[in-house]
Amino acid sequence: MSENKIIKFEIVTPERVVLKEEILQITLPTRAGEITVLPNHIPLVSSLQPGVIHIKKKNGEDEIISISGGFLEVLKDKVVILADAAERAEEIDLARAEEGRLRAEELKKQARSGEQVNFAEINASLERELARTKAVKRWRKLKNIQ
């Protein structure tokens, strides 16, 4: 495969490098909407919102990653994501993600009833858990896992 059809990709959190390899394309959730980056994409810097990243690897496999937000930098042949938190879908425990989502939804209901809670924090938690749940479900569908 020619070198101009490959993107060097790296996703980093404060704790670790989640993934670093050559890829064919990546689809991710920016604040302006979902975008797909292909080789030779125009340079771009954007903030990311919580959601699911879908990567087409050089070997043809798909990789699904949950992200809780962060920043994206696209250069001619390189994509770097600095993420608040990111997890590969196969690392996520679906039951725990669902429990987290239910807790966040319950806190949101309590906030509506007038209790003293941080609404922004609750929404961020809910978005994060929804992204984790979506990532696992999408990965399982791709891998034909029930």
What is the b/e burial string over 9-30, where b = at least 16 CB atoms within 10 angstroms of the residue's CB?
A: bebbbeeeebbeebbbbbebbe
- pLDDT tens digit sequence for 12-36: 999 999 999 999 999 999 999 999 9
Out of 2.40.50.100, 2.10.260.10, 1.20.140.10, 2.60.15.10, select the CATH number for domain 3-89.
Answer: 2.60.15.10
- Global pTM? 0.80
What was the pLDDT predicted at 115?
56
What was the pLDDT predicted at 105?
79
- Which residues in the chain land under pLDDT 50? 1-2
| C-beta of residue 51 within 8 angstroms of C-beta of residue 87 | no
